[in-house]
Amino acid sequence: MIGTRRQLIRLVAGILAALPLGRRAHAISLDDMAGLHADDDAAAAIGDAYLRAQPTPRPTLQALQAAVAAALTGDAPLKARFRTRVQADFAAARVVMVDGWMLSRVEAQTCAITYLNFVGEV
């Protein structure tokens, strides 16, 4: 039996993470993400700030990777898909504020992945 709303959210998130993402949506490795940001140290700092602003429990590395993989589906090179999604996020108002900066959701998520990689939460 599910006792709290938090337990329900964790259960649903776990189920969603376990579902196949489709033919072209696959996990994007940390090596694949290298080069999406010009400065990994700056990206990690942004990712840390983004995660600190998230409600508890904060997104896990696996949840972030699944969200980014789903957002960056397609056949184009990853960097091109990333740039296209950033533009689409802004056009659709899928933005977040991080330390006074407006970022697309996928930008913030990839920065958070970079940060979690730096602190060893891989």
Which tens digits make up the pLDDT trace of 43-70? 999 999 999 999 889 999 999 999 999 9
Question: What's the pLDDT score for residue 84?
Answer: 97
Residues with Cβ within 8 Å of 32's Cβ and at least 6 positions away in sequence, in order, are: 78
Question: What's the pLDDT score for residue 85?
Answer: 97
Model pTM? 0.75
Which tens digits make up the pLDDT trace of 18-44? 444 443 445 677 777 778 999 999 999
Question: What's the pLDDT score for residue 21?
Answer: 41
SS3 42: helix
d(CA 68, CA 28): 8
Spatial CA neighbour of 73 closest among 13, 17, 26: 26
